[in-house]
């Protein structure tokens, strides 16, 4: 990992990803209460816009992957950052909810062009043998993006209003992220041209061995993760967990993700990515099962938060690794996009699916669904061919 953080283009991408993740992704949940107070729109109306952006991100995933494969990383990622900053600035001018939705629809394209998957595709193409350690180092640092989003927006909003916070984040993306991305992507593309080209593949990603178990496994797990992320506090409240305890448990998820990624660095590159991913997804099934007893012993919510956070942190950085192990390096961007499209859609659908189940039968069916989809996801990953 130390080598990855002393690699100038990887270090530049790491700082850029920390900032752009905070500005384009985590800013939404950080600002949602401000928007509710300003416009009076319900939480459901507001979160619907975020779900729409995730749907668009999923729909453009394969297209963005093909752009990266064809050597357009500099143009794609720089344009995405500028587009995202423009959307942030435009949010400060909205008056109607349809305008809010339109902006976040376009933001979905910006997210697809700039966030993890596009960066992972570029690193896999240009670093290959050291890609796993580079991705691990990047996600360790970028794991603090949510903290930056919450702290910066809260302090600036309190002093000068939420619009100032949005404009500040937009400005940081333009002034800091865009130059870093321009430098890093050009260097990585130059380095890629020095590598031997992998043999051409005439078979589309969907027709390669292991594609469907891989796509289904990641998508099922994404559905479970999306449910936890979007419904954690009401879910814990339904179990009788006190609000203070629930908030404290939720606050452990972020640091636990970092701990899981640190565990990955300890494991090193010698452990097969497929095996680690199966452990991670299975661990999230166990974490959801722990919640079943939290109503009787509330302190178990801390065990849930630590285990779920560590396993999510582990699996989130293993996605590009197991996609490469399964489908190969050639046309990696297109392969990753094809695998991740249904995963993004599942993650976007998770809040609605959980809400329907909760309204119909309370949160017990929601917890059981989380256990079921993570277990099924691990079973799918077991079907992957060994690398």
Which tokens belong to 274? 């497929």
* Mean pLDDT, rounded, of the chain: 86
Nearest to 245 by CA among 309, 301, 305: 301
* Domain layout of the chain by residue ranges: 2-193, 205-382
3-state helix, strand, coil in the chain (%, to 5): 85, 0, 15
The pLDDT tens digits of the residues spanning 63-100 come to 898 898 888 999 999 999 999 999 999 999 999 999 99
Whole-angstrom Cα distance, residue 226 to residue 336? 19
Is residue 210 helix, strand or coil?
Answer: coil
The pLDDT tens digits of the residues spanning 162-221 come to 999 999 999 999 999 999 999 999 998 887 666 555 555 566 777 788 899 999 999 999
Q: What is the mean pLDDT of residues 142-153?
A: 79
Same-fold call for 2-193 versus 205-382: yes
- Judged by average pLDDT, the poorest of 164-168, 315-319, 380-384 is 315-319
Whole-angstrom Cα distance, residue 217 to residue 212? 8
pLDDT score of 354: 86
Q: What percent of the chain has pLDDT over 90?
A: 37
pLDDT score of 149: 83
Check if CATH label 1.20.1250.20 holds for domain 205-382: yes
CA distances from 68 to 60, 83, 120, 331, 335 (A): 12, 18, 10, 9, 11
CA 299 to chain centre: 28
pLDDT at 263 over 80: no
Q: What is the mean pLDDT of residues 375-380?
A: 96
Per-residue confidence band for 313, with pLDDT thresholds at 50, 70 and 90: confident
Helices and strands in the chain, H and E counts: 19, 0
- Judged by average pLDDT, the poorest of 197-211, 280-294, 305-319, 342-356 is 197-211
Higher pLDDT: 254 or 124? It is 124
Is residue 42 helix, strand or coil?
Answer: coil
pLDDT at 261 over 90: no
Residue identified by tokens 């260097």 is 187
pLDDT score of 48: 85
Q: What is the mean pLDDT of residues 335-350?
A: 89
Handedness of CA 300, 305, 307, 308 (dihedral sign): positive
- Judged by average pLDDT, the poorest of 4-8, 211-215, 346-350 is 4-8
Whole-angstrom Cα distance, residue 66 to residue 260? 31
Architecture of domain 2-193 in this structure: Up-down Bundle (1.20)
pTM, 2 dp: 0.81
pLDDT at 320 over 80: yes
pLDDT score of 180: 95
Per-residue confidence band for 268, with pLDDT thresholds at 50, 70 and 90: low
Left (φ > 0), alpha (ψ -120 to 50) or beta: where does 210 sit? left
pLDDT score of 267: 62
């Amino acid at each position: 990992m130390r080598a990855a953080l002393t690699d100038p283009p990887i270090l530049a991408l790491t700082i850029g990803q920390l900032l752009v993740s905070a500005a384009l992704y985590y800013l939404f949940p950080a600002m949602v209460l401000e928007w509710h107070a300003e416009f009076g729109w319900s939480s459901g109306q507001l979160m619907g816009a975020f779900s729409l952006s995730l749907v668009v991100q999923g729909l453009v995933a394969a297209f963005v992957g093909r752009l990266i494969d064809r050597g357009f990383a500099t143009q794609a990622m720089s344009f995405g950052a500028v587009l995202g900053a423009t959307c942030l600035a435009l949010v400060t001018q909205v008056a109607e909810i349809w305008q809010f939705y339109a902006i976040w629809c376009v933001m979905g394209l910006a997210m697809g062009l700039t966030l993890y998957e596009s960066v992972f595709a570029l690193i896999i193409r240009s670093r290959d043998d050291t890609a796993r350690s580079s991705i691990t180092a990047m996600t360790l640092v970028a794991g603090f993006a949510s903290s930056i989003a919450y702290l910066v927006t809260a302090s600036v909003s309190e002093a000068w209003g939420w619009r100032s916070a949005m404009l500040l984040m937009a400005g940081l993306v333009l002034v800091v992220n865009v130059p870093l991305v321009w430098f890093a992507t050009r260097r990585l593309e130059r380095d890629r041209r020095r590598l031997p080209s992998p043999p051409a593949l005439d078979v589309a990603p969907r027709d390669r061995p292991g594609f469907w178990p891989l796509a289904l496994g990641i998508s099922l797990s994404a559905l479970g993760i999306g449910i936890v992320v979007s419904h954690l506090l009401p879910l814990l409240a339904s179990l009788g967990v006190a609000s203070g305890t629930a908030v404290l448990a939720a606050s452990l998820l972020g640091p636990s993700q970092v701990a899981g990624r640190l565990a990955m660095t300890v494991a090193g590159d010698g452990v097969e990515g497929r095996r680690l991913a199966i452990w991670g997804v299975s661990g999230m099934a166990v974490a959801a099962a722990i919640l079943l007893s939290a109503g009787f012993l509330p302190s178990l919510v801390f065990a849930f938060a630590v285990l779920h956070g560590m396993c999510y942190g582990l699996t989130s950085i293993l996605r590009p690794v197991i996609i490469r192990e399964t489908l190969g390096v050639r046309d990696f961007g297109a392969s990753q996009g094809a695998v991740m499209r249904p995963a993004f859609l599942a993650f976007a659908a998770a809040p609605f699916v959980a809400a329907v189940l909760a309204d119909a039968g309370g949160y017990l069916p929601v917890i059981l669904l989380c256990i079921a989809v993570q277990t099924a996801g691990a079973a799918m990953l077991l079907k992957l061919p060994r690398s």
